[in-house]
Structure 1
Amino acid sequence: MAARRISSLLSRAVYASSSIGPASLLLSRGFVVWRFECSVGISEISQKVDNTNVSFTEKVMPIDELAALETWNNGKPYEQAAKSELPLFVRLFHYYAGWADKIHGLTVPADGDHHVQTLHEPIGVAGQIIPWNFPLIMFAWKVGPALACGNTIVLKTAEQTPLTALYVAKLFHEAGLPPGVLNVVSGYGPTAGAALASHMDVDKLAFTGSTDTGKIVLELAARSNLKPVTLELGGKSPFIVCEDGDIDKAVELAHFALFFNQGQCCCAGSRTFVHERVYDEFLEKSKKRALRRVVGDPFKTGVEQGPQIDEEQFQKVLRYIRSGIDSNATLECGGGRLGNKGYFVEPTVFSDVKDDMLIAQDEIFGPVQSILKFKDIDEVIKRANATRYGLAAGVFTKNINTANTLTRALRAGTVWVNCFDVFDAAIPFGGYKMSGIGREKGIYSLNNYLQVKAVVTPLKNPAWL
């Protein structure tokens, strides 16, 4: 069993990480060489590292072991890591390896006797800070486009979840990535993260995390060398259930939208808006679904929910549950700790939730579903948009006109219609408002790691030549 190999995985996952200062200086020295090698090198390296379409380096580490390492790293169900996250991880690197030799400038028409062209050049040293909720996916999400564009990288893992990022970086080096191109460091945000954000030799910063921390990162970047920053931050995503859809399917989709990954998703559908005509039926079935949710050992078959990431997050979730109770929301089920060991939270459902309650305003990052009632489309649009966040939204309806109205009216970077949490390497992701700056994944992410240079040359020799 994969779980029995954890001790050996931990020993193999140890990878020497440098301090922020020396790592950045090393990258600066190696940048000029790598920027011209990368278009061929990254494709070859990616093929060595990933030798099939369904697994990551079977010769070095079978897919079940890498999934087990991610489960040990984060606490998420093993089946989720193996069946959902690892295929996307592989897909991301395939996608960006394909871009590496296709990035080029343009010829630009201009008035006068001049030839004008643009060069798309690597931005330089990319500092990247990834969160603890999806360590493997976030590693590929950040590293793939930066390498494809010819940049060098200092990536900081979350202090809670360094294992898989460190191990995969080791695999890249073994596959032939030149020394100094990809450095992975682990440490705390106020020390290692702040050092990376404020370092004068870092040319670009990409951060995924909370909105409050994102503000700090942006300020540090501005105060240092005004490095450009991409931010993917928090959310309080609405999931809107209209009266015309199949209620059983709506319940299951809304449940998935909130409870997936222990509710630890920046885009979780944490405000479930339900039309008043189907509210009571939806509520009763949502309660029953939450009570059926299987919580426990993430390595066991059929487990849907593991523990929260650590005690700090565990206590934070419990405080929000108490806040919901104190605010007179109706606790339909859950509401406490599950068992007497580990950071397991009961799947929790609140009804009679009002827009001004903390559980309807703040990002909880836990298995707490808030169900709100609405009367019509105009009302729900106004209420869904009444938040500082704008990362994602979900719509459940059979009516194409309703779907079109909502997708265009909702101020969110992603709107899923009759689905949720559908990700692909080619689909851009990012937020409106205080959910972030810029887009990641897809062709959009390449622009984050490129500089555009205009080259203007006279078609005739000037008189002085």
Structure 2
Amino acid sequence: MNSPEQLSGEDTVVQAVPKQLLIGGKWCAAETDSTYDVEDPSNRQRLCAVADATANDGLAALAAADDAQHSWAQHPPRARGEILRRAFELITQRHEDLALLMTLEMGKPLAESRAEITYAAEFFRWFSEEAVRIDGDYAVSPSGTGRFLVMRQPVGPAVLITPWNFPMAMGTRKIGPAIAAGCTMVVKPAQQTPLSMLALAAILEEAGLPDGVLNVVTTSSAGQVTEPMLRDGRARKLTFTGSTAVGRTLIEQSAEQVLKTSMELGGNAPFLVFDDADLDAAVDGAMLAKMRNVGEACTAANRFYVHADVAEEFSRRLAERMSALRIGRGVSDEIEVGPLIDARQLDKVDELVTDAVERGAKVVLGGERDDTRGHFYQPTVLTEVPTDARLRREEIFGPVAPIATFTDESSVVAEANDTEYGLVSYLYTRDLQRGLRISEALDTGMVGLNQGVVSNAAAPFGGVKQSGLGREGGKIGIEEFLETKYVAVGGL
């Protein structure tokens, strides 16, 4: 093994992260001492090995959370907030190392990793302030013979399941409100990207989070570890970010113990460009909505509907911008597009493009995979995409922009809404009345009106239909971790 002075920056940030499970304030090996490898998707090289938890490890973590719940719920709200504030400051101080770590395990370019670290830290800052704003109510009963006392209390131990595409921000978006509300938790990060969560857990330890409040189990067998926790009875809350298919399964498993659930699931975001749109702004927004995280985001623009009068110009400009993007291993500041997360995702994107082309779509740009180094797919623009193409119905999760045209407002809104998903929509128009009218008509939980990014720690994030349940972030984010108790006061 290299001596510390011989280690590269990449080796240093990886070695600095704990590789074990965090249970009850102790870093420990998995029950069977087993591990699994974490790989760099840009070159398929092994970064390190982390503990591979079993079902018993998951239950031990849940027991630790349950043991710590009562004392943590009694922790002063100001003290809970100050822990989050210290963690925010530590994340900010270690911004560069955390960004590099994320790039290594997930593949996104350093510029995007830096942006995510900033975004992730904001959830801790936001919920540090919300911890002291948990309120209740006091009222005279209508008859005047009693009083109503309403209080808000932590829901109890929570199971948090986070995805690989935003490995730190999706953690802080869940952990922040749980800590602020007074809930203990077990976090199960995605198999592909456990290192960012392990680094975050170590930061929270350093910030003074008591033992047992945050427990982390890394595993290559997600279902085998999480299902026993959900059916156990000690967990009272589940929050999950991931695919709709997995979300449905988790909801079924949660039903046995009637867990409070919040789900941030798949998306099929439409991106509408009207004939009066500022095309420069629309293309800028399209680049953000499509190419952020190489398209591997539930908020990614999945279906482009462009008015026939401007479709040719919009397509030309978008292809021009995407063709100029520099592709490669994201550890260099010059790189703008990284790899997809793994071979399975690369295969899916390739299949969707092939299907669209076979059905008549025209390739304006890209349309090919490059897996000679890692899991890369070329930025791609397709036009004349038929309605029966799979990528009009399925979430692409890749750097592919399929463009269709429209002429009628009501028809394009109906087509945008013709999906089981309802996470986010985007629309570009200079007509404010049209913008508000369509924003109200779109069946999504969020709308980007002349804006290509909607995510903000201070705003409620979530979808409708099969894109999820509940909201994360904003004032409402902490509500997902609170129960309402009503006390009827008599004898007055």
| Smaller-chain TM-score bracket | over 0.9
Note the C-alpha offset of 1:29.
1.3
- Trace 1:29-428 onto structure 2 (pairs within 5 A): 29-51=67-89, 56=91, 58=93, 62-82=94-114, 84-112=115-143, 113-187=145-219, 188-223=221-256, 225-338=257-370, 340-428=372-460
Take 2:387 and 2:476, find their aligned partners in 1: how far apart are those partners?
Answer: 34
Secondary structure of the residue that 2:370 maps to in structure 1? coil
Note the C-alpha offset of 1:158.
0.2
| 2:54 is equivalent to residue 20 of structure 1 | no
Take 1:347 and 1:281, find their aligned partners in 2: how far apart are those partners?
Answer: 18
Identity rate, percent: 33
CA contact (8 A) 1:104 1:120 kept: yes
Show structure 1 runs of 4+ deviating over 6 A. none
Take 1:131 and 1:144, find their aligned partners in 2: how far apart are those partners?
Answer: 16
Take 2:420 and 2:76, find their aligned partners in 1: how far apart are those partners?
Answer: 40
Note the C-alpha offset of 1:288.
1.8
Note the C-alpha offset of 1:111.
2.4
Read off the aligned partner of 1:291 and give its amino acid letter. Answer: S
Read off the aligned partner of 2:347 and give its amino acid letter. Answer: Q
Note the C-alpha offset of 1:9.
1.7
Note the C-alpha offset of 1:232.
0.5
Secondary structure of the residue that 2:67 maps to in structure 1? helix
Take 2:63 and 2:226, find their aligned partners in 1: how far apart are those partners?
Answer: 16
What is the TM-score of this pair, normalised by structure 1? 0.94
Take 2:280 and 2:171, find their aligned partners in 1: how far apart are those partners?
Answer: 36
Note the C-alpha offset of 1:38.
4.5
Note the C-alpha offset of 1:221.
0.5
**What is the CA deviation profile of residues 203-239 of structure 1, one whole-angstrom value per residue up to 9, with x for unaligned ones?**
000010001111000001113x111211100011001
Read off the aligned partner of 1:92 and give its amino acid letter. Answer: F
Q: Structure 2: give runs of 5+ residues left out of the alignment.
A: 1-6, 24-56
Note the C-alpha offset of 1:339.
6.1
Answer with 261-270 or 168-177: which moved more.
168-177
CA contact (8 A) 1:197 1:220 kept: yes
CA contact (8 A) 1:15 1:167 kept: no
Secondary structure of the residue that 1:100 maps to in structure 2? helix
Take 1:245 and 1:353, find their aligned partners in 2: how far apart are those partners?
Answer: 22
Note the C-alpha offset of 1:270.
1.1
Read off the aligned partner of 1:50 and give its amino acid letter. Answer: F
Note the C-alpha offset of 1:15.
4.5
Take 1:306 and 1:57, find their aligned partners in 2: how far apart are those partners?
Answer: 24
Take 1:38 and 1:377, find their aligned partners in 2: how far apart are those partners?
Answer: 53
**What is the CA deviation profile of residues 49-72 of structure 1, one whole-angstrom value per residue up to 9, with x for unaligned ones?**
333xxx6252xxx32111111111
CA contact (8 A) 2:106 2:164 kept: yes
Note the C-alpha offset of 1:271.
0.5
CA contact (8 A) 1:15 1:170 kept: no
CA contact (8 A) 1:221 1:227 kept: yes
- Trace 1:423-438 onto structure 2 (pairs within 5 A): 423-438=455-470
CA contact (8 A) 2:327 2:335 kept: yes
Q: 1:102 to 1:344 in 2, by over 3 A?
A: same
Take 1:247 and 1:57, find their aligned partners in 2: how far apart are those partners?
Answer: 36
Q: CA RMSD in A?
A: 1.5
Take 2:399 and 2:229, find their aligned partners in 1: how far apart are those partners?
Answer: 32
Answer with 100-109 or 265-274: which moved more.
100-109
Secondary structure of the residue that 1:79 maps to in structure 2? helix
Take 1:301 and 1:167, find their aligned partners in 2: how far apart are those partners?
Answer: 23
Take 1:199 and 1:278, find their aligned partners in 2: how far apart are those partners?
Answer: 56
Read off the aligned partner of 2:241 and give its amino acid letter. Answer: T
Secondary structure of the residue that 1:171 maps to in structure 2? helix
2:37 alignment counterpart: none
Note the C-alpha offset of 1:114.
0.8
Note the C-alpha offset of 1:354.
2.2
Secondary structure of the residue that 1:207 maps to in structure 2? strand
Read off the aligned partner of 1:111 and give its amino acid letter. Answer: P
What is the TM-score of this pair, normalised by structure 2? 0.89
